[in-house]
């Protein structure tokens, strides 16, 4: 039996080793550490700490950003300025949700989730559990710049406050004075093709249809082939959201794609079952069935679509900037469109986001021993100085100030001697190109696709038609968010699926009543109750 004992010993050892691995570090010294951290802080301004400290950031990484943030000009500079070193742990954006959830579920999470796209229901879930810190008082104490913005725009403060009255994440704010950014994706149309066809920019849905049809039937690029694609892109969503305003739905902007406040009755409604929505789908079905929407739009991947756009085959598209997406040559032929007047006279532009772009870009966890320093580190990026650093980099190195006071990247970046594009050249200097960053975005310091003259011009055309009440995402209580998870998994998924089937004609509109009934049977009433409660809470926050 000696061997049996040996085996037992072996197994026990393994267990012990495993147990030791997951053992928590004792928190005896935490108080002492907190005191030490406080003493280390400077009075105000920069540097933030006397003795260098290091913070562990977990950051979502987009393919457009450098793989080592410590080598990026902006972060090197900011480390020198603050005395705070950031240990960057990168999470590639494709597997972001997985990695984030695994880190949280396993209990080994960083000091800060940076550009982690933490969704609202996770914020409240882990916030109530104490994993994410409550920031209400801390913001007032350590973040003068953000406090100023919140006072100036109370709507943003309303939006970031959860039903339990707490703030669990620092927001990404789009300057309300910068509509091109709030709009993001804009509708574009080929100016040269309009001219060739002798048409004006379409003003109504019917004229838009006529234009697309003409593109389909005319060999506008004169290569002898009918290869023109009237409307193309990476998803059907852009077109649907652009057209929503012509059919009188979606009155609260991009963050509310299923419900809105009916401008006539002032009541909240679930618009995917409204007649207006049906008309919208019928119109889109007409376009799709006549081949006016690219047939591959549901399966095409981004690179393929950009290639088609760059070849100049698209007659219309919904993208942030035609120039940056399809290149200056093909993209330069596009011009911004006007919102279209629908069959019932509706004419609004609804595809716009709230200045509170999103929350989960900066979340501080209870693993953080230098909370005050962390918040001060972040607060800088809510100031003009910090925004300039974050978006433009370092003066003389990456940008220069012109005589008229405006700033721009240096020539080496704009017209790179090695032939790199702007995005590629910027990769080693800044990280904002990946998106999802916390902070405030202002027109003066932001040189993205949204600041191109053509984009600003396109946004200007849409501006007079923008809906009045743009709402940020609602926040829910834990219970609500649990119910919502179940309800929306059924309802919203069903709406999305059926909408595509109606558009492509896989299902005929005679099934509409059945569709409406199915949604009601899925618990629409409860869904609406929760939404209404959340809306009322938002108003009274």
Partner 1 sequence: MRQKKAGGNPAIKKNRLHLTKKNFLKSWQLYVFLLPALTYFIIFHYIPMYGVQIAFKDFYATEGILGSPWAGFDHFTRFFDSYYFWRLLKNTLIINLYQLLLFPLPIIFALMLNELRNGPFKKWSQTLTYAPHFISVVVVVGMLVAFLDPITGLLNHVIMALGGESVPFLTDPDWFRHIYVWSGEWQSLGWGTIIYLAALAGVNPELHEAAKVDGATRLQRIMNINIPSILPTIVVLFILNIGKFMSIGFEKVLLMQNTLNSETSDIIQTFVYQTGLLEGQYSFAAAIGLFDSVINIILLVTINQIARKTSENSLW
Residues that bind partner 1 (CB under 8 A): 1, 3, 7, 10-11, 14, 18, 97-98, 101-102, 104-107, 122, 125-126, 129-131, 295-296, 298-299, 485-486, 489-490, 493-494, 496-497, 500-501, 504, 506, 518, 521-522
Please state the closest distance from residue 48 (CB atom) to partner 1, in A.
29
Our CB check for partner 1 shows the closer of 10 and 509 to be: 10
Our CB check for partner 1 shows the closer of 232 and 353 to be: 232
Please state the closest distance from residue 99 (CB atom) to partner 1, in A.
10
Q: Around Cβ 204, how many Cβ atoms within 10 Å?
A: 16
Please state the closest distance from residue 447 (CB atom) to partner 1, in A.
33
| CA–CA distance, 78 with 373 (Å, rounded to integer) | 13
| CA–CA distance, 284 with 504 (Å, rounded to integer) | 8
- 95 burial (CB, 10 Å; 0-12 / 13-18 / 19+) is exposed
Q: Distance from CA of residue 513 to its chain's centroid? A: 34
Give the CA angle between residues 408, 410, 414 to the nearest 5°: 90
Our CB check for partner 1 shows the closer of 119 and 144 to be: 119
Please state the closest distance from residue 89 (CB atom) to partner 1, in A.
18
Our CB check for partner 1 shows the closer of 465 and 494 to be: 494
Please state the closest distance from residue 32 (CB atom) to partner 1, in A.
24
Cis peptide leading into residue 47 (ω within 30°): yes
What residues form DSSP beta bridges with 319? 186
| CA–CA distance, 357 with 472 (Å, rounded to integer) | 7
Our CB check for partner 1 shows the closer of 111 and 323 to be: 111
Q: Determine how β-strand 407-409 pairs with β-strand 112-118.
A: unpaired
Please state the closest distance from residue 294 (CB atom) to partner 1, in A.
8
Our CB check for partner 1 shows the closer of 109 and 247 to be: 109
Please state the closest distance from residue 229 (CB atom) to partner 1, in A.
9
| CA–CA distance, 372 with 332 (Å, rounded to integer) | 48
- Check if the beta carbon of residue 313 is closer than 8 Å to that of residue 223: no
Q: Distance from CA of residue 333 to its chain's centroid? A: 27
End-to-end CA distance of the chain: 71
| CA–CA distance, 151 with 189 (Å, rounded to integer) | 40
- Check if the beta carbon of residue 100 is closer than 8 Å to that of residue 116: yes
Please state the closest distance from residue 131 (CB atom) to partner 1, in A.
6
Q: Name the region of 428 (left: φ>0; alpha: ψ -120 to 50; beta: rest).
A: alpha
Our CB check for partner 1 shows the closer of 40 and 478 to be: 478
Our CB check for partner 1 shows the closer of 31 and 301 to be: 301
529 contacts: CB under 8 Å, gap ≥ 6: none
Our CB check for partner 1 shows the closer of 471 and 484 to be: 484
Please state the closest distance from residue 257 (CB atom) to partner 1, in A.
14
């Amino acid at each position: 039996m000696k061997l049996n004992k040996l085996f037992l010993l072996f197994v026990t050892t393994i267990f012990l080793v495993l147990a030791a691995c997951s053992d928590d570090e004792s928190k005896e010294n935490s108080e002492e550490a907190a005191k030490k951290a406080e003493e280390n802080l400077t009075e105000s301004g920069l540097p933030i700490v006397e003795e260098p400290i290091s913070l562990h950031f977990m950051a979502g990484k987009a393919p457009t950003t450098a793989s080592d943030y410590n080598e990026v000009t902006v972060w090197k500079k900011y480390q020198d300025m603050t005395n705070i070193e950031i240990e960057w742990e990168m999470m590639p954006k494709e597997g972001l949700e997985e990695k984030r959830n695994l880190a949280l579920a396993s209990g080994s999470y960083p000091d800060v989730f940076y550009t982690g796209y933490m969704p609202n229901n996770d914020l409240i879930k882990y916030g109530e559990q104490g994993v994410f810190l409550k920031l209400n008082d801390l913001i007032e104490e350590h973040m003068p710049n953000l406090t100023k913005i919140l006072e100036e725009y109370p709507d943003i403060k309303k939006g970031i406050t959860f039903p339990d009255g707490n703030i669990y994440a620092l927001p990404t704010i789009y300057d309300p004075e910068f509509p091109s950014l709030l709009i993001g994706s804009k509708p574009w149309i080929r100016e040269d093709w309009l001219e060739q066809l002798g048409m004006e920019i379409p003003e109504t849905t019917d004229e838009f249809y006529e234009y697309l049809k003409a593109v389909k039937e005319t060999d506008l690029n004169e290569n002898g082939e009918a290869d023109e694609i009237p409307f193309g892109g990476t998803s059907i969503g852009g077109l649907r959201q652009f057209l929503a305003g012509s059919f009188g739905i979606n009155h609260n902007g991009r963050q509310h794609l299923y419900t809105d406040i009916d401008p006539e009755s002032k009541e909240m409604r679930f618009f995917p079952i409204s007649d207006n929505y049906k008309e919208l789908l019928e119109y889109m079905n007409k376009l799709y069935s006549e081949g006016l929407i690219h047939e591959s739009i549901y399966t095409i991947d981004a690179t393929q679509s950009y290639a088609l756009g760059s070849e100049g085959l698209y007659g219309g598209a919904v993208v942030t900037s035609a120039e940056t997406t399809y290149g200056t040559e093909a993209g330069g032929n596009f011009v911004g469109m006007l919102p279209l007047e629908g069959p019932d006279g509706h004419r609004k532009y609804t595809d716009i986001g709230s200045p509170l772009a999103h929350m989960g870009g900066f979340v501080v966890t209870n693993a953080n021993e230098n909370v005050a320093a962390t918040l001060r580190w972040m607060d800088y990026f809510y100031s003009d100085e910090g925004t300039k650093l974050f978006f433009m980099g370092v003066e003389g190195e990456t940008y220069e100030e012109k005589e008229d006071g405006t700033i721009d990247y240096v020539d080496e970046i704009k017209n790179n001697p090695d032939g790199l594009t702007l995005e590629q050249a910027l990769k080693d200097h800044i990280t904002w190109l990946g998106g999802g960053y916390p902070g405030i975005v202002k027109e003066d310091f932001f040189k993205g696709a949204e600041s191109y003259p053509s984009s600003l011009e396109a946004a200007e055309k849409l501006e007079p038609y923008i809906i009045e009440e743009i709402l940020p995402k609602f926040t829910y209580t834990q219970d609500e968010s649990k119910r919502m998870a179940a309800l929306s998994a059924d309802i919203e998924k069903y709406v999305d699926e059926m909408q595509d089937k109606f558009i492509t004609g896989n299902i005929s509109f005679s099934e509409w009543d059945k569709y409406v009934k199915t949604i009601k049977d899925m618990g629409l009433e409860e869904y609406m109750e929760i939404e209404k409660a959340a809306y009322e809470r938002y108003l009274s926050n």
